[in-house]
Amino acid sequence: EPEVTQTPSHQVTQMGQEVILRCVPISNHLYFYWYRQILGQKVEFLVSFYNNEISEKSEIFDDQFSVERPDGSNFTLKIRSTKLEDSAMYFCATQTGIRNGYTFGSGTRLTVV
Amino acid sequence: ELKVEQNPLFLSMQEGKNYTIYCNYSTTSDRLYWYRQDPGKSLESLFVLLSNGAVKQEGRLMASLDTKARLSTLHITAAVHDLSATYFCAVEPEEYGNKLVFGAGTILRVKS
């Protein structure tokens, strides 16, 4: 079964540093998402991305966050200046089309120290 | 603000028993998803419920959707230890665009 691959699986970074989280979507999927889950809490929507632009973003997705699909394959989430409260599990999700099922990646655990 | 409420948030049950997890949501939607999450792992899709009255079953789990009541249930039959995990429902609201809004999750512990 096709998978959504995320790298790295775990990243530890110092507060104020930039991090880039990477996602390789399933090849025929066109819609891409980032969600995050703070330890022990619910999963929260960050941003959706289609046709090389952001479709929607949540209040969490402030100016410190950005997404892009630079080479047509990887889908990345960048956090410019990490804060302690950015520590969470970040999940990439993809879809073939609107209102189709979502496939979640394995996640990246980000720890900001 | 769209709300998705699950209850109970924590469920400890004996093997062999039955129980139901409830998911209420506050907006119109005809799509509801159930996911399972093991500790430190990703979200595993269990069920996608696409219309009012939809019922799906897989093994000891059965999910249903009542869009008029804005309620979904996940019923566990004759629980086994392997079902221990956190279960999330997620709603794809019609008017909020293409995204999932998750409930807080139900931590299920099945005791041998």
Q: Choose among A42, A56, A99: nearest Cβ to B31.
A: A99
Mutating which of A67, A99, A102 best tests the B interface, going by the most B Cβ atoms within 10 A?
Answer: A102
- Cα of A104 to nearest chain B Cα, Å: 6
Q: What is the pLDDT of residue B102?
A: 96
B92: chain A residues, CB-CB within 8 Å: 99
CA angle (A108 as vertex; A38, B84 as ends), nearest 5: 65
Distance from C-alpha of B16 to C-alpha of B19, rounded to nearest angstrom? 10
pLDDT in tens, A9-37: 999 999 999 999 999 988 888 899 999 99
Give B101's contacts in chain A (Cβ within 8 Å).
Answer: 45
A2 vs B8, residue with greater confidence? B8
Give me the pLDDT at residue B95, please: 67
From residue B64, give the alpha-carbon distance in Å to each of A102, A111, B30, B55, B58: 19, 37, 12, 4, 12
Banded pLDDT at A62 (limits 50, 70, 90): very high
Q: What is the mean pLDDT of residues A38-51?
A: 92
Percent of chain B with pLDDT over 90: 79
